[in-house]
Amino acid sequence: MADLIDFIQDITNRVTVLAWALFLLTWSIGWTLRGAPIPLSRLKRAGNSLVEDSIWAAFWLAIGSTVFSFVTYIIGLISVP
């Protein structure tokens, strides 16, 4: 049963790290495009859209991390004899 707990914790950590990396990448690209000194309003709107999407991603990342932590906690309680 310890293998199952380790497996779930490993997946939780990997998914969380990957999601945070994707969030930070999207957020930085969005702010770069939004603040670019290029007079293309379409490009600036795309940057603004990326920033807004990354804010939603951060929200769902927090919710997903909480759910993964809760599942790991429940499995830890069940596996203790």
For the stretch 40-51, pLDDT in tens is 677 667 777 777
pTM > 0.85: no
Total domain count for the chain? 1
For the stretch 11-20, pLDDT in tens is 877 877 887 7
- The DSSP secondary structure of 58-81, one letter per residue, reads HHHHHHHHHHHHHHHHHHHHHH--
What does the DSSP 8-state code read for residue 1? -
Q: Report angle CA 17, 55, 63 to the nearest 5 degrees.
A: 55
Residues 19, 60: Cα–Cα separation, whole Å:
10
Q: In terms of residue numbers, what domain contains 73? A: 2-79
pLDDT value, residue 38: 66
**Between 31 and 36, whose confidence is greater?**
31
